[in-house]
A and B are shown apart, each in its own frame.
Chain A
C-alpha cells in the first residue's frame, strides 16, 4: 500500500509540477490574418542543450510575434535517429499547424512526417534537410547556398595563409550531409590553379564533441609538423581547435609558433571564439545567422500553411525585413550570405 501511495504521489506530483497547461490549450485572444485561430508552430531541433538551435528558436519567436502565432520548442534528449519520432507524434496530437524540424537522420522520419501532413500539418525542415526524401516535407530552409560555402572557406584560408602550405579539415560527424557538401565544395575550389600551393593533407572528424574534437586536433599537430592551417566548418570543432592552438602555443605569434604558426578558420558561433579572437589565436571566421533561418522558416511555413505560396522552383516570396527569397530546387530556400566575424565586430554578437 505504501508502495502504491509513494509511487502514485510521485507521478502525480511530477506530472503536475513538470507541466503547466499546454500552450495549445490556452484560449486564443487575437486572430490575425482572418484565420480561425492562432498558428501553432512546433520546433524540433536535433537535440536539447545546443545554443545554435536556441538562436533558431529566437528567430522563430520573433517571427511568431509578427504573425500572431505561438512557438514551442521540443528538443529530444539525444541526437539520434528515433528520438524525434515520439516528439513529433506528441506534438501533432497536442495540436500543431507548422512543424519546423532539423532532422537527425535523412531517412527515419518519412512515416511520421507523412502522418503529420495527412493531418494538415505543414512541415518545414531547417538547417538539416531530409536529403533524398524531400517529398516527405513541404519546404526546407537551409543556411546558405551550399555551393558557396566551400569556395568562401577556401578564400578565407587563402587570405590568411597567402595561398600556401599544408592544411587539414576538422569536421563534425562523418555522415553530416552539410559538412560533406562543404568539404566537397572546398576540394572542388582547390582545383583552381590560384590555390595550387594549398595542400589538403587530412580530414578528421570530431563528432561535434569537445573531447573528441580536441583529441583529433592534437593528433593533427602531431601528424603534420609542417601544418600551416586548419579549417573547421563546425562550432564545436573550431572551439576545440582554438583551445588546442592556445594550449600548444602554435597560433601565429604564439610562443611555439615556429615561424608563421598555424592559422585557424571555419564556421562557428561567435560566443565560443570571443576569447580566442581577442587573444589573437583566431583572426577571422564565418557563419550565417541561425536566427534569420528561424524567422524565414516561420514566415515561409505560415504562407505555405495558408497556401499563399507554393514551393516550386523559381517561385518567390517576401519575408518582412529580409526582402525577397527564391525557391531553388526541391523546395529549398537559402538564408543568405556568410557573416565574417573578427576583432572589429565580434563584440556585437551574442550567441
Chain B
C-alpha cells in the first residue's frame, strides 16, 4: 500500500469512529459483514472501473450492463444451473457489451462519457423492453448455496470480490498490460507514437469493465433470487466515487486498486453508518455525490493530479 492508499483507509477509520458515536448499534461485526454483501456488486463494478479510469476513459453503462446480463441469463438458463456455466455466460455477455462500448470509443471515436451514456440508456432499455414489468427467476446455482465461509459469519460474496480485486490489482500494477493502460491514460497520442496498441488497450479495458459487470450480475441475481429491469440504478455512481476517492486520477494515467477497495469500504461504511443513525436516504445519496466531487476537487487542489487541458473529460 502506498501513502495515497492510506487516505481512504484513514477516512474509513474516521467513519467507523463517527458511526459508532452516532449509534451504538453500528459497530456490530456480523451486521457489518452482512451489509457488505450489498456492496459486492458496486465493488466489482469499481474494480473494472479502475482500469477504465486509469486508461483515461469512463464507463457510465456498468449498472445497465449488470441488469441486462442478469435478464439475459435468467431468460436463457433453466431454474437450476451449473455454476460454472452461469458465471462463464454472465462474464461473456458482460464482456461483449463492454466491447460494444469499446468499439464506440475506439472505432467510432465517440467520447466515452457520451458513448456509455447512450449505452446506459440502451442496455437498460433492452432489459425493460424484454422483461417488461415482470420479474424473472434467477437460476439456482447447484452446490453453491452456502452463504458463509465455513461456520464463520463471513459471507462468501465479499471474499470473492476481494480475491478478484486482488488479482485485478496484480494485473494493473505488475503486468505489461497494466503499464500499457496507464501509459495510454497518461497520453494516448504519445503512446501511439511509441508503438503501443492504444485501441486494443482501450477495447480491453471496456471489455474488462463489462466482464466485471457480468460477474456482478451473478451476485445481484443470487442475492435477490429474481431480477427486474429496474435493479441497481445509480450503482455507477458508487463505483466511480470509490475509484476516484481511492486516489485514481480522474484524468487517467495513475491509480490504485487497493485505494479503490478501501474507498468502496469507505462508501459502504459511510452509507451504513448514516442508515443506522436514521439519516434519510435522500441525504445519503447527496452525501455520496458531494463526496465524489470533493474527492476530485481535493485531488486537484493538492496538485496531485497532473495538469491537463481542462476541457477533457
Contact = CB atoms under 8 A, between A and B. Distances in A.
Asked if A and B touch directly (CB within 8 angstroms), the answer is: yes
Contacts of B282: 48, 75, 77
A35 interface: no
Nearest to B133: A175
A107 B226 contact: yes
Given A2-B301, A93-B276, A25 B232 contact: no
Given A10-B290, A87-B275, A90-B276, A3 B25 contact: no
A107 B225 contact: yes
B295 A94 contact: no
Interface string B265-293: 00000111111111111110101001100
Interface residues of B, number: 58
Contact of B279 (A19, A25, A175): A19
A341 B226 CA distance: 40
B280 A74 contact: yes
Nearest to B6: A4
Given A77-B282, A110-B225, A90 B294 contact: no
Contacts of B291: 7, 10-11
B15 A11 contact: yes
Nearest to A95: B25
A54 to B, nearest CB: 13
Nearest to A87: B281
B290 A3 contact: no
A89 B38 contact: yes
B281 A76 contact: yes
B87 interface: no
Contacts of A76: 281
B281 A48 contact: yes
Contacts of A83: 233, 281
- Which residue of A3, A16, A105, A173 has the most chain B CB atoms within 10 A of its CB atom? A3
Interface in B205-236: 223-226, 228, 230-234
Interface in B103-153: 132-135
Q: Is the interface of B mostly helix, strand, loop or mixed?
A: helix
A18 B299 contact: no
A108 B224 contact: yes
Contacts of B276: 22, 90, 93-94
A107 B132 CA distance: 15
Contacts of B38: 85-86, 89
A12 B7 CA distance: 15
A89 B39 CA distance: 13
Contact of B281 (A77, A94, A110, A173): A77
B177 interface: no
B279 to A, nearest CB: 4
Given A15-B18, A18-B279, A94-B25, A6 B294 contact: yes
A145 interface: no
A204 interface: no
A81 B278 contact: no
Interface string A1-30: 111101110111011101101111100000
Given A75-B280, A93-B28, A175-B134, A81 B304 contact: no
Given A48-B281, A75-B280, A78-B233, A7 B298 contact: yes
A12 B18 CA distance: 7
A87 B35 CA distance: 11
A113 B22 CA distance: 25
A188 interface: no
B313 interface: no
Interface in B153-195: none
Contacts of A81: 135, 224, 228, 230-231
A189 B30 CA distance: 54
A318 interface: no
Interface in B1-57: 7, 10-11, 14-15, 18-19, 22-26, 28, 31, 34-35, 38
B15 to A, nearest CB: 6
A11 B273 CA distance: 11
Interface string B231-251: 111100000000001000000
A278 interface: no
Contacts of A107: 135, 225-226
A48 B18 CA distance: 26
Interface of B: 7, 10-11, 14-15, 18-19, 22-26, 28, 31, 34-35, 38, 132-135, 223-226, 228, 230-234, 245, 270-283, 285, 287, 290-291, 294-295, 297-299, 301-302, 304
Interface of A: 1-4, 6-8, 10-12, 14-16, 18-19, 21-25, 48, 72, 74-78, 80-83, 85-87, 89-91, 93-95, 105-108, 110-111, 173-175
18 contacts: A6-B301, A7-B291, A7-B294, A10-B290, A11-B14, A11-B18, A15-B277, A19-B22, A19-B278, A24-B278, A48-B281, A80-B228, A81-B228, A105-B135, A107-B135, A107-B225, A108-B224, A175-B133
Given A3-B7, A80-B231, 7 more contacts: A2-B298, A7-B291, A12-B18, A18-B283, A75-B280, A81-B230, A93-B275
